[in-house]
């Protein structure tokens, strides 16, 4: 038996598609067969499986487990929950050799997909493409695996609370926080977690609903933070936290309603962490503000700029021994006193801990940051066959001009006005641009440079592509 996936489904960091169009139960079964085969051939026997709150998730979970079992792999089913709960199961259960979460993350309700971890490391890039090769040739192991259901949510919540070890409950009593789960899979965990925390907690949309009736669960878009802002303002709360659909990305606002972007959260985490473990390497992706890298240096740490992509960042952390990393998109990774995977619920706990340990409110920490002017992530449609070639052309022209370029991931150019970035998306047929300056005029000049580079490669900064 063989299986062919739709060409858009096997992607760089995960597997994703539109239910009933590009992704269905047969694909889930083939993913189970392929992943199970890889686990078996690496000497493994057991895989943990979880799923998010999307309407299509239970059907895909059933087929995925069938595929794993048919490859001779035993399955631990942890049920509905956020992606980091699945990562936790894979990291904390000694008998488990890998994990798969069924999730569409922050994509529209008709999407779904799979995120995987293999013997403690991210499973991405060539690994994912290999599932397509195994399916196309039918080169699968066969066997009769078992499946058992295990409820680990309470254990996971107890582990999250350990992020506050060493802080007296009295120090937390005065805190008031709003939590917006966006009807995503983090909701039940947020309810259990806040029930154990001192202080005042206002919960929004913790009921899991795969139709996302209140707002889309993507905390990096300002329009999705309106309800959180209102809750913080009306309750005169200290700050607010929001989660994406599967709980691996965090968003936050301070007591004045200002957004705390991914790189700004990292500045807070770094200040706290570098007091506990001085001189460490802190990693952020190429889209992060210069203010973050400067701040890490100022605090005595070593800033490291790395490629965008949660799997790439996790791998770099392992390689460098970094205790903390993050992305603009709200993925935050703590290896310090945790497992090194992206867990927005743990990141929320560490934000509370940082505020208490540093003796400063989240609003004061946000207010102390330099006022930089930056663009959001700008996306330009470009033919798949051209996107990497355009970046090479840009780098060649910049080199010829003697520009100061960091080519870790695309081209990030430093100028006296600030910096601009142009990189090719790994997951879509788009170029991604971002610029940051100290003034509006400076930002204009940086955008002019981006336009000139696009034009020189026969492209224009026309209508932007969506996410």
Which residues are the active-site residues? Answer: 105
Beta bridge partners of 411: 422
User: Are the C-beta atoms of residues 23 and 7 closer than 8 Å to each other?
Assistant: no
Q: What is the SS3 assignment for 231?
A: helix
User: Are the C-beta atoms of residues 172 and 199 closer than 8 Å to each other?
Assistant: yes
Give the angle subtended at the CA of 262 by the CAs of 257 and 266, to the nearest 5°.
Answer: 105
The encoded tokens of residue 52 equal 């998010």
The encoded tokens of residue 200 equal 């005042």
Q: Could you give the CA distance from residue 74 to residue 148 in angstroms, rounded to a whole number?
A: 8
Across 335-450, where does the E strand assignment appear? 373-374, 378-381, 404-406, 411-415, 418-424, 430-437
* Sheet of strand 250-254, all strands in order from the earlier edge strand to the far edge: 200-204, 176-180, 239-243, 250-254, 259-260
SS (H, E, C) 23-84: ECHHHHHHHHHHHHHHHHHCCCCEEEEEECCCCCHHHHHHHHHHHHHHCCCEEEEEEECCHH
Distance in Å from the first CA to the final CA of the chain: 36
Please identify which residue in the block is written with the tokens 């001085």.
278
Q: Could you give the CA distance from residue 17 to residue 112 in angstroms, rounded to a whole number?
A: 6
Is residue 243 left, alpha or beta, with left meaning phi > 0 and alpha meaning psi from -120 to 50?
Answer: beta
């Amino acid at each position: 038996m063989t299986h062919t996936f739709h060409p858009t489904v096997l992607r760089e960091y995960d597997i994703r598609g539109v239910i009933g169009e590009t992704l269905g139960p047969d694909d889930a079964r083939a993913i189970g067969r392929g992943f199970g085969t890889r686990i078996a051939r690496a000497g493994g026997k057991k895989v943990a499986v979880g799923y998010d709150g999307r309407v299509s998730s239970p059907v895909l979970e059933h087929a995925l487990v069938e595929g794993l079992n048919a490859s001779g792999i035993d399955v631990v089913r942890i049920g509905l929950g956020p992606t980091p709960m699945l990562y936790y199961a894979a990291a904390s259960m000694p008998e488990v050799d890998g994990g798969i979460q069924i999730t569409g993350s922050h994509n529209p309700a008709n999407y779904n997909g799979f995120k995987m971890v293999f013997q403690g490391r991210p499973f991405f890039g060539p690994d994912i493409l290999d599932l397509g090769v195994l399916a196309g040739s039918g080169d699968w192991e066969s066997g009769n695996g078992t499946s058992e259901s295990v409820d680990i949510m309470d254990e996971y919540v107890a582990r999250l609370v350990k992020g506050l070890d060493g802080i007296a409950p009295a120090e937390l009593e005065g805190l008031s926080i709003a939590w917006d789960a966006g009807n995503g899979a983090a909701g039940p965990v947020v309810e259990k977690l806040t029930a154990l925390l001192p202080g005042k907690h206002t919960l929004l949309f913790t009921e899991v609903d795969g139709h996302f009736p209140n707002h889309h669960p993507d905390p990096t878009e300002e329009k999705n933070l309106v309800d959180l802002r209102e809750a913080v303002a009306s309750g005169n709360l200290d700050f607010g936290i929001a989660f994406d659909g599967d709980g691996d990305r965090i968003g936050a606002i301070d007591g004045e309603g200002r957004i705390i972007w991914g790189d700004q959260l990292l500045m807070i985490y770094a200040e706290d962490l570098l007091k506990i473990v001085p001189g460490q390497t802190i990693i952020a992706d190429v889209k992060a503000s210069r203010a973050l890298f400067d701040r890490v240096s100022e605090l005595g740490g070593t800033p490291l700029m790395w490629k965008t992509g949660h799997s790439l960042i996790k791998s770099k952390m392992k390689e460098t021994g970094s205790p903390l990393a993050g992305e603009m998109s709200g993925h935050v990774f703590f290896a310090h006193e945790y497992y090194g995977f992206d867990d927005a619920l743990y990141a929320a706990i560490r934000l509370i801990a940082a505020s208490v340990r540093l003796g400063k409110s989240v609003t004061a920490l946000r207010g102390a940051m330099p006022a930089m002017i930056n663009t959001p992530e700008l996306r330009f449609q470009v033919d798949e066959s051209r996107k990497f070639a355009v970046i090479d052309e840009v780098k060649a022209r910049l080199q010829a001009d003697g520009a100061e370029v960091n080519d870790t991931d695309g081209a990030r150019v430093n100028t006296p006005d600030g910096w601009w970035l142009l990189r090719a998306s790994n997951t879509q047929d788009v170029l991604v641009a971002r610029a940051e300056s100290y003034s509006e005029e400076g930002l204009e000049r940086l955008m002019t440079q981006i336009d000139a580079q696009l034009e020189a490669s026969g492209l224009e900064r026309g209508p932007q592509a969506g996410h």
